Amino acid sequence: MSGGSLLDLMVQDNVEDQKKAVERRLEERQVATTLERERVQARQREQEAEWRELERRAAEQAASRPAEIAGLRVGMRFQMKNCGPEIDGIWVVARVDPGAAGDQSRRLWGQRANGGEGYLPLTERKALDALHYGILVRLD
């Protein structure tokens, strides 16, 4: 026996076997981790695809509905009361700028029903408040 005693060789073989076992376990963990990561990523991709589909459907539905503010759409008539002679009377919604939901710049413009001069701009908040307090009355 060259190079060492039988005990030394057995210890060396045992150490090498332990190193190989540790390397195998590490490799198995890496493979398992990679597989789990791929599963998680696949689930995330599926969820993202579902969200994109929901967003697409919501946008499609929103685009198919006519723009409205406080229940008023272009061409609908409304009456203003108790605001003074310049504003009191019947108006027709001439334009609606829908913006994004909850956007403070959402507004509509009313035009005199009899074709008179002037436009009445109303933000969504003002239109809702006027409707609530009975200052604005929908006629259509």
Q: Are 78 and 110 in contact (CB under 8 A)?
A: yes
Q: What is the pLDDT of residues 46-76, one digit of tens each?
A: 999 999 999 988 888 777 777 888 889 999 9
Q: In terms of residues, how long is the chain?
A: 140
What are the residues facing 124 on neighbouring strands? none
pLDDT attached to residue 2: 55
Rounded Cα gap, residues 25 and 41, in angstroms: 24
Rounded Cα gap, residues 131 and 136, in angstroms: 5
Can you tell me which residue has the tokens 């001439």? 94
pTM: 0.55
CB neighbour list of residue 92: distance below 8 Å, 6 or more residues apart: 75, 76, 77, 78, 110, 111, 112, 113
Mean pLDDT of 8-18: 85
Do 31 and 53 sit in the same domain of this protein? yes
Is 72 a domain residue? no
Is 5 a domain residue? yes
Do 14 and 59 sit in the same domain of this protein? yes
Residue 32, pLDDT > 90, answer no
Q: Which domain holds residue 117?
A: 77-138
